[in-house]
Chains A and B, each alone.
Chain A
Amino acid sequence: MGYDLKMRIWRGNEAAGELQDYTVEVSEGEVVLDAIHRVQATQAGDLAVRWNCKAGKCGSCSAEINGRPRLLCMTRLSDFDETETITVTPMRTFPVIRDLVTDVSFNYEKAKELPSFAPPPRDADGKRRMAQVDVERGQEFRKCIECFLCQNTCHVVRDHEDNKPAFAGPRFFLRYAELDMHPLDTHDRRQLAQGAAGLGMCNITKCCTEVCPEGIKITDNAIIPMKERVADKKYDPLVWLGNKIGLRNKDYDGRSEG
C-alpha cells in the first residue's frame, strides 16, 4: 500500500529560491497535500503552504503540480506513477512570499473595484421572488471558491505584469457576469466590465476554464456572453434602433449604468 514518494518542492522567498528534493512515505488514497503535510511534520517544519478545508471547498491550497495549476488537496497521488517525481511550485503569476505561499493581494484589490449588487425594494410581504431557472445562471458562477487558479493561468497577466492594473481577470469577469445576469440587479455593468475590468483584453483561449476545479464554464458561460452583451450595446444596429424608438432588450429593463 504505502510507498516512498519522491517530491521536489520549491523553497525560497521573493529574493531567491530553488527546488529541494524530499522523499516521503505516502499511502493509498492520499493527495499531494497529505504528502506536503508529512514533509512539514517530519522533515521541514517551516515549509510554508496555505490550506484550510482540505476538501476542495475553500480554494486556499492553489499551486502548480508538475507545472499544472491545481489544488493540492484535490490532486490524488494515484493520478501519478509511483516512480514519478512530483514537482510542486508556487503559482507563477503572483509574487512569492515564501515557499508555496504567494501574495494574492492582486485579487483582493480587484475585488474592491467591483460595484456591489443593487437590488430593487422587496415585495410587499418583505420577500423577494425569482425563478429557479433564472438564479441558476448566477449560481454556477457563485460556485467559485476563489482559488485564483484561473487568475494564475490567464496569459494576459501570467507573463505580462504590466497588464495587471487594467485587467480584473477571469474570476472577476465571473462576478460581472453574475451581477449582469442577476434577475433582480438594477445596474447595467457592461460598460464597466469592458472599460475598467479589461474584458476586451481576453481573447478567449479558455485556459481559465480548463484549470477551474469547480468546473465552471468561465469562458463559455460568463466571458463570451459578457462580450456579446458589450458588443450588442456598442455595435448592434438593432439595439441602436430599438433605443431610438423606445424598444429595449428586456434584460436591461430598469437597469442603470454603474
Chain B
Amino acid sequence: MSDRHPMTGNRMSADEAAGVHGFERHTHDVVVIGAGGAGLRAAIAAHEAGAKTAIVCKSLLGKAHTVMAEGGIAAAMGNRWPEDNWEVHFRDTMRGGKMLNNWRMAQLHAQEAPERVQELEDWGALFDRTEDGLISQRDFGGHRYARLAHVGDRTGLEMIRTLQQRAVALGIDVFMECTITELLKDGDKISGAFGYWRETGRFVTFEAPSVILATGGIGKSFKVTSNSWEYTGDGHALALRAGASLINMEFVQFHPTGMVWPPSVKGLLVTESVRGDGGILRNSEGKRFMFDYIPEFFKKETADTEEEADRWYDDKKNNRRPPELLPRDEVARAINSEIKAGRGSPHGGIFLDIASRRDPEYIRKRLPSMYHQFKELADVDITAEPMEIGPTCHYVMGGVEVDPDTEESSVTGLYAVGECSGGMHGSNRLGGNSLSDLLVFGRRAGEAAAAYASGLGEERPYVDPQVVLAAQDPALAAFEREGGTENPYTVQQDLQQTMNDLVGIIRKAEELSASLEEIEKFKQRADQVVVEGHRQFNPGWHLSIDLRNMLLVSECIAKAALAREESRGGHTRDDFPKPSEEWGAKNLVLRLNAAGTGVDLSEQPLPVMPDELKTFFEER
C-alpha cells in the first residue's frame, strides 16, 4: 500500500510522495476543482482528449450540489414538440436573461445541449420516456416548448450518478474531501493548485498547467438559500485572487419556490416542475395572482385568462403560457409583493397548489421527491393540500468571465465552468438551463484545457516551492492567531443575515451602501477568527478558510448591485424599478484590487450579437 495515499487510495509515484517543499505532490495535465455536473463532464472530456486528469472536490464523490437539481435538463431535442429547435431555445434563453447573456454562449448551449443529453443515455442514464420510447421532455418556466429531459423530479441525481460512474469507469484520479485554497501561478500562467485534505488537515499540491474551476455558487452568503454548505464562492474567489475577472455578479437568482416551514428547512427548493406539471400560485384570499404580474416584455406570449392558461398544457399552438411559468425573476418578485401586501400564508409564504389540479397518482409519479420531502419534513401531503412557499437564494448568474468557446478566463490555463462562470445566463437563468450548461461547457472546457496542456510539451509552468510554502500561512492563520475573539460560525451567520436583509431580492442604494460597510467590518472580524481543536476533520477550521471567499464574493455582489442603477432579471432596484437601455448594453466587471483586500469595479460593453441571430427576435 506504500504507493497509495493513506486516505484516498490514490496511487502515488515516488516523487509525488513529497515535493521539494515537503508537501504531498501530484502532477497532472488538467486539474478540475469541483465534482458536480460541470466538473465531472470537464474531467471526462479532458481524459478522453488524452490528458492526465484529476478531480479535486470538497465532499465525497457524488454528493455535489448537482444532486439537488430536480426539474430537468433543457435541450431542444424535439421529442415532444417537433417544432422545437436550437433557435427557439436560444431565443428563450436570451429573453429569459433579458438580453444580457453572452450571445455566443447562449448559442453554443442551445446547439449542443441535445447531443450532451443523448450522451448521458449512452453512459447509462435512465430518463423518463415518451409514448414512443424517446426521452420525455417537460414544461418549465420561460421555455416555449416542453423541453426538459427528466427523471421524475430527481434529474440532478441521475446526472451526477451517470457522470460519476463514467468518470470511475475511465479511471480518472479523484481526490475527495480536499479543499483548494490557492491557485499557483508562474508569471501570468497557471501552474497548479494548493489545498488541504479535510480528513487530515495536511497540505497537498497539484501541479498542472490547466486548472478548471467547477466549484458552483455562492448561496451560503445568504441566510435563506437552497444551497449546500459547499457553496461558498470558492471558484469565484480563487479566480479573483489569481487575477481573473468576474462579470454579472449583481445577478442573483431567488427561486420563487422554496419551503418556508418548518424553520429548519426554510429555503429548501421546491422544484419548478410543480408549476410545469400544472401547479398554480394562490394568495391567502385564494386568488391566482400571477395574472396581475405579467410584465410588458412577456405579454405577447403569456395567457391572460385562467381558461387559456389551463388549455396550454395540452395545446401549445393555440394558447399562451400560464403566468406561473414566467421566468423565475418575475415569479419571485410577484410572490414577494403579495407577501409584503399582507396576502401571505400563515408561515410567511404563499400557496403553491397542485393538489386541486392533478390527481394524487399523477403527482406522486411526476414529483416523487417533492411528495417525500413535504411528507417527511413538514407533515404536508402535497396530493391533498397546498404547499407554503417563498423565494429562496438559489443561483448566481455571475461568475468568472470566460471565452465562450473554450471557457478560458483572462488567466492563461485557468478555465471556469458551470455556476462559477459568468455570461451564459445574462441577468436571469431559465430553469433547466443549468444542467445543460454544465454539460455543454464542461465538455468544451475539458477539451480546451487538455489541448492547451498537450500543446505545451516540456515547457510547463514552474511551481515555485517558496510560493507553495507561503500558501499555507493564510490557511493556518486561525490556529495561530493570538488573542482572536471571533467564532467562525457567528461571523458566517451575521454575514448571511446582512446579505439577506440588505442585498436580497429587492435592493436600494442606502441598503447596498450599508451592506458594503458591514462587509468591511466582517472582514475585520474574519481576521480575528480563532478555531478550537486540531487539523483533523475540523469543520470550524474549514469554515474559517471558506469565510474569506464568502466575504470576497459578497463584496462583488453588493458592489455591482449598487452600481447597476436599473432593474433587470435577478437584480431589482426599488429606486430604479425599470430596465434601462444604456445599462442593457454593458457588463460590470470585478477584479481584485491592488492591495488584495477587496475588489475594483469597471464597466465593459456587452458583446454585440451578429445580425443573423438578431432575426430570431423579430416578430413572427
Interface 0/1 of B35-77, CB less than 8 Å to A: 0000000000000000000000001111111011000000001
Q: Is B158 an interface residue (CB 8 A)?
A: yes
Q: Is B128 an interface residue (CB 8 A)?
A: yes
Q: Which residue of the partner chain, among A59, A98, A139, contacts B152 with CB atoms under 8 Å?
A: A139
Q: Which residue of the partner chain, among B61, B228, B534, contacts A53 with CB atoms under 8 Å?
A: B228
**In contact, A135 and B126 (Cβ under 8 angstroms):** yes
**In contact, B377 and A122 (Cβ under 8 angstroms):** no
CB distance from A48 to the nearest CB of B (A): 4
**In contact, B264 and A59 (Cβ under 8 angstroms):** no
**In contact, B65 and A52 (Cβ under 8 angstroms):** yes
Q: Is B489 an interface residue (CB 8 A)?
A: yes
List CB contacts (< 8 Å) of A41-96 with chain B.
41-42, 44-60, 74, 76
Interface 0/1 of A127-145, CB less than 8 Å to B: 1111110010011001111
Stretch of A110-118, A194-202, A247-255 that contacts chain B: A110-118
**In contact, A53 and B264 (Cβ under 8 angstroms):** no
Interface residues on A, range: 35 or more
- Taking CB atoms, residues of chain B closer than 8 Å to A27 are 263-264
A108 to B5, CA, bound (A): 14
**In contact, B129 and A131 (Cβ under 8 angstroms):** yes
Q: Is A29 an interface residue (CB 8 A)?
A: yes
Interface residues on B, range: 35 or more
Q: Is B378 an interface residue (CB 8 A)?
A: yes
CB distance from A252 to the nearest CB of B (A): 18
Q: Is A205 an interface residue (CB 8 A)?
A: no
Residue of A nearest to B165 (CB): A116
- Taking CB atoms, residues of chain B closer than 8 Å to A114 are 165
Q: Is B204 an interface residue (CB 8 A)?
A: no
**In contact, A60 and B63 (Cβ under 8 angstroms):** yes
**In contact, A53 and B537 (Cβ under 8 angstroms):** no
Q: Is A210 an interface residue (CB 8 A)?
A: no
Given known A40-B539, A112-B168, A142-B158, contact A182–B124 (CB-CB < 8 A): yes
**In contact, B126 and A49 (Cβ under 8 angstroms):** no
- Taking CB atoms, residues of chain A closer than 8 Å to B401 are none
- Taking CB atoms, residues of chain B closer than 8 Å to A50 are 59-60
CB distance from B156 to the nearest CB of A (A): 8
Q: Is A246 an interface residue (CB 8 A)?
A: no
Given known A30-B263, A142-B161, contact A98–B134 (CB-CB < 8 A): no
Interface 0/1 of B446-459, CB less than 8 Å to A: 00000000000000
**In contact, A45 and B157 (Cβ under 8 angstroms):** no
Q: Is B541 an interface residue (CB 8 A)?
A: yes
Given known A45-B487, A45-B532, A46-B539, contact A58–B63 (CB-CB < 8 A): yes
**In contact, B369 and A57 (Cβ under 8 angstroms):** yes
Residue of A nearest to B535 (CB): A46
Q: Which residue of the partner chain, among B127, B265, B369, contacts A135 with CB atoms under 8 Å?
A: B127
Residue of A nearest to B70 (CB): A57
Residue of B nearest to A77 (CB): B264
**In contact, B487 and A127 (Cβ under 8 angstroms):** no
Q: Is B610 an interface residue (CB 8 A)?
A: no
**In contact, A48 and B538 (Cβ under 8 angstroms):** yes
Centre residue among A40, A45, A105, A146 by max chain B CB count within 10 A: A45
- Taking CB atoms, residues of chain B closer than 8 Å to A142 are 126, 151, 157-158, 161
**In contact, B263 and A98 (Cβ under 8 angstroms):** no
Q: Is B536 an interface residue (CB 8 A)?
A: yes
Stretch of B115-123, B431-439, B565-573 that contacts chain A: B115-123
Given known A126-B118, A145-B157, contact A58–B124 (CB-CB < 8 A): no
Q: Is B531 an interface residue (CB 8 A)?
A: yes
A143 to B372, CA, bound (A): 12
**In contact, A30 and B487 (Cβ under 8 angstroms):** no
Q: Which residue of the partner chain, among A34, A104, A126, contacts B60 with CB atoms under 8 Å?
A: A104
**In contact, A57 and B154 (Cβ under 8 angstroms):** yes
Q: Is B619 an interface residue (CB 8 A)?
A: no
**In contact, A48 and B63 (Cβ under 8 angstroms):** no
**In contact, A182 and B126 (Cβ under 8 angstroms):** yes
**In contact, B134 and A29 (Cβ under 8 angstroms):** no
A122 to B120, CA, bound (A): 12
Given known A45-B532, A116-B166, contact A139–B8 (CB-CB < 8 A): no
Q: Is A13 an interface residue (CB 8 A)?
A: yes
A256 to B512, CA, bound (A): 64
**In contact, A31 and B377 (Cβ under 8 angstroms):** yes
A63 to B67, CA, bound (A): 20
**In contact, B373 and A116 (Cβ under 8 angstroms):** no
**In contact, B124 and A46 (Cβ under 8 angstroms):** no
Centre residue among A42, A104, A142 by max chain B CB count within 10 A: A142
**In contact, A116 and B533 (Cβ under 8 angstroms):** no
Residues on B close to A: CB < 8 A? Answer: 7-9, 59-65, 67-68, 77, 79, 118, 121-124, 126-129, 132-136, 151-152, 154, 157-158, 161, 165-166, 168-169, 176, 199, 228-230, 261-265, 268-269, 369, 372-373, 376-378, 487-490, 493, 531-534, 536-541
**A to B CB contacts below 8 Å, 10 in the list:** A29-B261, A54-B228, A58-B62, A111-B165, A114-B165, A127-B77, A132-B136, A139-B151, A142-B157, A144-B161
18 more contacts with CB within 8 A, not counting A40-B539, A57-B67, A143-B154, are: A29-B263, A29-B265, A31-B264, A31-B377, A34-B264, A45-B538, A46-B539, A50-B60, A53-B67, A58-B68, A101-B537, A109-B9, A119-B124, A127-B79, A132-B129, A132-B133, A139-B152, A146-B63
Task: Return the 7 tightest CB-CB contacts between A and B, nearest first.
Answer: A29-B262, A46-B533, A45-B540, A117-B124, A129-B133, A41-B489, A116-B169
